[in-house]
């Protein structure tokens, strides 16, 4: 089918493409703090719910096509930090939106609004990520596409006319302007302080529904404490799909807007007196929030499950460095726990058997670099989406008539021993930590992946992953395990997955990691 549909007339020849509003970050990396330098961080957040919400239809993004929403359980936000190390090399801005995905095209629109501000204030990096909630607005246009729009798109392609994407333009303008305003506000809120880092195993809170099951078990926490004694900021990073509220079931309407567990984690952390920022981790295709699966015998609908999970993640993050007794007396909600135990004999306390972890102070070194590049799309479904103008991604044609996109990867260092892989999609965790699917024996194609896990190549640090940042390119699956639909026979069991359906292509993983390693080697 994708071969029959005419090409999109919006596409630009790659030789005519001019890169605009890309921010490369720092031109040099530091190995140690500059004398007298200190961390600086500013925080801001804005609601992204348009003023006319409830009065006109908005499409949800994450599950069903054309699902209209008029109501909300909570708020859809952008949360923002501006950060630097006081070295004078420039400020970096990071904004994370409660939505399922955000195209690089739209990231650059926000940067365009900040172009003069960034130049005047030495902002060298502007980055827009998502929490990946499946119950937010459709900010990509994929879920808004209707049959009549598809017919109109094919007709326009045949006539040589340009297309409008399916995405809601009014909604995007709200997101552009409010996100830009949040970045400005975070910049003006910057103050000096200290940065701390901790991590704790939280394997019981995540599950991987794919086979084999591979996921990163840790929750990572940064804590910024301003010298002024003002409100501290907690930055959390872990991989889990916020996908519970958006699915329609017998006990869940599925058409009520929600930031999913992220909102309720934030509520707990805000109540304790902190700002909250969340960076999505290496979520792969099927890594889910797990605590709600059993509910400890509680009879909860999907929304109530989300609230419980989100709150408990908040308590977990707050209590990481505390003792079990301190968690019970200083963090836990005694009323909540009492009600839970009264409703189920199998109810468990999140802090039971708790072992605290240490927190270390990070020296004021913040290095950030990004790289833009083109990637040839070879997934027929994604090419079809592009031909029909259903998404906002940058699309180009090369001299061989290949359909390409432009995207970005990044590399960040917090202090001297915390490093971050920044990817534009949903990265399979085995690419970061290793796993059987990187081997010939454990992969669908019977070959080894071209690279070892990144932790083996960058092994002098805690290696984190910020995912779905500066673009939304779908699943980043090891090339040797890629397939539009894959059957795998291992240890006498036949398993099926369709990860490749929502991937940009069969070489996405090797290409993105090659570009990432090229960037790392430029500085390290």
Both tokens of 22, joined, read 């890309």
Both tokens of 464, joined, read 């984190």
> Maximum Cα–Cα distance for the chain, whole Å?
71
The model carries a pTM of: 0.95
What angle do helix axes 104-113 and 169-188 make, rounded to 10 degrees?
A: 50
> Could you identify the residue written with the tokens 């957040």?
45
Both tokens of 77, joined, read 């936000």
For residue 132, the SS3 value is coil
On the CB side of 447, how many CA atoms lie within 13 Å of its CA? Answer: 9
CA dist 500 and 256 (Å) reads 29
Alpha-helical regions (H) of 352-408: 380-387
- What dihedral angle (degrees, nearest 10) is formed by the CA atoms of 87, 91, 97, 103? -120
CA dist 127 and 24 (Å) reads 10
Q: How many CB atoms lie within 10 A of CB 448?
A: 15
Q: Which residues contact 4 (CB under 8 A, 6 or more apart)?
A: none
Hey, which residues does 200 pair with through a beta bridge? 219
CA dist 516 and 184 (Å) reads 29
pLDDT score for 492: 66
Hey, which residues does 472 pair with through a beta bridge? none
Cis peptide before 198 (omega within 30 of 0): no
For residue 325, the SS3 value is helix
> Could you identify the residue written with the tokens 């830009």?
180
For residue 137, the SS3 value is strand
CA dist 30 and 416 (Å) reads 9
Hey, which residues does 279 pair with through a beta bridge? 237
Q: Is 280 left (phi over 0), alpha (psi -120 to 50) or beta?
A: beta
- In 3D space, the residue among 82, 31, 116, 105 whose CA is nearest the CA of residue 372 turns out to be 105
CA dist 47 and 486 (Å) reads 41
Cα of 484 vs its chain's centroid, Å: 23
Q: How many CB atoms lie within 10 A of CB 432?
A: 25
Q: How many CB atoms lie within 10 A of CB 483?
A: 18
CA dist 243 and 101 (Å) reads 13
CA dist 293 and 296 (Å) reads 9
Both tokens of 345, joined, read 């004999």
Per-residue pLDDT of the chain (524 residues; tens, 9 = 90+): 667 788 888 889 999 999 999 999 999 999 999 999 999 999 999 999 999 999 999 999 999 999 999 999 999 999 999 999 999 999 999 999 999 999 999 999 999 999 999 999 999 999 999 999 999 999 999 998 878 878 888 898 888 888 888 899 999 999 999 999 999 999 999 999 999 999 999 998 988 766 667 899 999 999 999 999 999 999 999 999 999 999 999 989 999 999 999 999 999 999 999 999 999 999 987 777 765 444 677 888 899 989 999 999 999 999 999 999 999 999 999 998 999 899 888 888 999 999 999 999 999 999 999 999 999 999 988 888 888 888 888 999 999 989 999 999 999 999 999 999 999 999 999 999 999 989 998 888 899 999 999 999 999 899 999 999 999 999 999 999 888 766 666 566 666 566 677 889 999 999 999 999 999 999 99
Q: Which residues contact 53 (CB under 8 A, 6 or more apart)?
A: 70, 72, 257
On the CB side of 76, how many CA atoms lie within 13 Å of its CA? Answer: 31
DSSP states of 56-112: B-EEEESSSTT-EE-EESS--EEEEEEEE-SSSS-EEEEEEESSS---HHHHHHHHH
Q: DSSP label at 449?
A: -
For residue 214, the SS3 value is coil
Q: Which residues contact 496 (CB under 8 A, 6 or more apart)?
A: 485, 486, 487, 488
Both tokens of 451, joined, read 């690279």
pLDDT score for 280: 98
CA dist 103 and 105 (Å) reads 5
CA dist 113 and 375 (Å) reads 26
Q: DSSP label at 378?
A: -
């Amino acid at each position: 089918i994708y071969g029959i549909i005419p090409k999109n007339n919006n596409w630009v020849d790659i030789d005519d493409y001019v890169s605009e509003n890309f921010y490369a970050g720092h031109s040099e990396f530091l190995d140690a703090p500059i004398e007298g330098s200190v961390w600086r961080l500013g925080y801001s957040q804005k609601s992204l719910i348009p003023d006319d919400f409830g009065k006109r239809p908005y499409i949800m993004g994450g599950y069903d096509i054309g699902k209209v929403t008029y109501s909300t359980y909570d708020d859809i936000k952008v949360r923002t930090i501006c950060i630097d190390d006081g070295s004078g090399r420039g400020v970096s801005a990071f904004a994370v939106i409660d939505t399922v995905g955000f195209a690089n095209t739209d990231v650059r629109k926000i940067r365009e609004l900040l172009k003069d501000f960034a130049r005047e204030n030495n902002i060298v990096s502007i980055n827009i990520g998502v929490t990946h909630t499946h119950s937010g607005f459709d900010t990509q246009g994929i879920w808004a596409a209707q049959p009549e729009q598809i017919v109109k798109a094919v007709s326009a392609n045949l006539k040589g006319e340009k297309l409008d994407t399916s995405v809601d333009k009014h909604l995007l303008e709200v997101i552009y302007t409010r996100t830009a305003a949040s970045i400005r506000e975070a910049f003006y809120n910057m103050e000096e302080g200290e940065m701390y880092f901790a991590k704790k195993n939280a394997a019981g809170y995540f599950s991987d529904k794919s086979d084999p099951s591979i996921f990163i078990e840790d929750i990572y926490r940064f804590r910024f404490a301003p010298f002024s004694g003002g409100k501290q900021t907690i930055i959390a990073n872990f991989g889990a799909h916020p996908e519970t509220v958006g699915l329609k079931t017998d006990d869940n309407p599925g058409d009520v807007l929600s930031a999913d567990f992220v909102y309720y984690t934030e509520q707990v952390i805000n109540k304790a007196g902190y700002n909250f920022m969340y960076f999505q981790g290496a979520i792969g295709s099927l890594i889910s929030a797990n605590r709600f699966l059993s509910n400890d015998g509680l009879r909860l609908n999907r929304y109530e499950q989300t609230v419980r999970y989100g709150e408990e993640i908040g308590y977990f993050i707050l209590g990481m460095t505390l003792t079990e007794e301190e968690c019970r007396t200083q963090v836990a909600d005694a009323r909540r726990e009492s009600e839970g135990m009264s409703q189920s004999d199998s109810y468990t306390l999140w802090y039971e058997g708790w072992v605290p972890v240490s927190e270390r102070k990070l020296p004021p070194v913040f290095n950030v670099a990004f790289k833009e590049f083109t990637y040839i799309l070879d997934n027929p479904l994604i090419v079809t989406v592009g031909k029909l103008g259903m998404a906002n991604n940058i699309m180009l044609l090369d001299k061989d008539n290949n359909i390409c996109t432009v995207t970005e990867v990044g590399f960040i260092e917090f202090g001297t021993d915390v490093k971050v892989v920044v990817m534009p999609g949903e990265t399979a965790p085995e690419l970061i930590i290793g796993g059987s699917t990187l081997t010939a024996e454990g992969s669908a194609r019977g070959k080894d992946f071209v690279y070892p896990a990144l932790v083996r190549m960058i092994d002098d640090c805690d290696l984190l992953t910020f995912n779905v940042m500066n673009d939304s390119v779908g699943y980043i699956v090891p090339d040797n395990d890629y397939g539009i639909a894959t059957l795998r026979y291992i240890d006498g069991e036949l398993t099926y997955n369709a990860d490749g359906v929502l991937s940009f292509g069969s070489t996405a993983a090797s290409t993105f990691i090659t570009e990432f390693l090229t960037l790392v080697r430029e500085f390290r």
